[in-house]
Amino acid sequence: MDPITFFIQILAPALWQGLLITVALVALTAPFGLLLGTGISLGRQYGGRALQAACSGYIFFFKGCPLILLLFMLYFGLPSLGITLPAFTAAVIGFILCNAAYNAEYIRGAISSIKDGQMTAAQALGMTRFQAIESIILPQAMRRAIPGLSNEFIYLIKYSSLAYMITVIELTGAAKIAATKYFMYNESFLAVGIVYLALVTLTTYAVSLLEQRIAIPGMGTKNLI
């Protein structure tokens, strides 16, 4: 088969299917990873001793565990404990757990860069700690965490290819299958590489638009990417 026919009839439709799965993986992981990561960083920063220890333990464990191992445990390990997850679900859960740990670290760094006076002033006005975190600390911390969080989002796009190892046919998997079947390795992997590059470029562009929209003079969110 000549490369052009291969590309049009085989590779492009396969990559399209794979792209849909990759986008679904990322779109389901990112919001929950952000939510869980925010919760963990707040727990670690402002929680009681037990909660702080639990949140630190979470980060310690999931930062230290190779993602592929985590996916294997969720997909191949859990059934022996009586829990059988569909491959796609196992992948999303694994990604959320890992993504949240890194997001928590970025947000924690951003929170600790905020001057104590902000919390003091909020409390002096009669805000509870919760109100101060919600209306003063988080809006500032999230702005400062954007560069880190967006890097993590880009990593997520790329490590979502690990889902292939537990039988989810996403972008990389689709390319690998087509390549093996038609013996068109270079063509397939080059094409899928371009798709990833496009996704990452799109993300970078979207993040810089977001940063411009929410930029605040003196808060140093401009031109960070």
Partner 1 sequence: MKGEYILRVENLHKNFGDREVLHGISFDVKKGATLVFIGPSGTGKSTLLRCINQLTEPDRGKVFLDDEEITGCGARISGFRQRIGMVFQNFNLFDHLTSVENVEIALLKVRKMKKENARAKAMEELRRVGMADWADHYPAELSGGQAQRVSIARCLAMDPEVILFDEPTSALDPELTREVLEVMKDLARSGMTMLVVSHEIGFARSVATEVIFMEGGRIVEQGPPLEIMNNPKHPRTREFLGRIEHD
List residues binding partner 1 (CB under 8 A): 115, 117-118, 120-128, 131, 134-136, 139-140, 143, 216-219
Shortest Cβ distance from residue 113 to partner 1 (Å)?
11
Q: What is the dihedral of CA 69, 75, 81, 85, to 10 degrees?
A: 150
Provide CB contacts within 8 A for 121, sequence distance 6+.
136
CA distances for 85 relative to 89, 143, 216, angstroms: 6, 36, 44
- Cβ closer to partner 1: 128 or 167? 128
Task: Output the smallest distance, CB 109 to partner 1, in A.
Answer: 17
Q: Are 110 and 148 in contact (CB under 8 A)?
A: yes
Residue 140 or 161 with smaller CB distance to partner 1: 140
- Nearer of residues 112 and 131 to partner 1, judged by Cβ: 131
Residue 147 CB, shortest distance to partner 1, in Å, is 16
Q: Whole-angstrom Cα distance, residue 212 to residue 219?
A: 12
Q: 171: closest CA among 198, 187, 195? A: 195
Q: What does the block give as tokens for 86?
A: 């569909």
In the chain, DSSP finds a helix count (H) and a strand count (E) of 10, 0
Least distance between partner 1 and beta carbon 123 (Å): 7
Rg (CA), the chain: 21
Judged by beta carbon, residue 48 or residue 117, the one nearer partner 1 is 117
Comparison of 125 and 202: residue with beta carbon closer to partner 1: 125
What minimum distance in Å lies between the beta carbon of 106 and partner 1?
Answer: 18
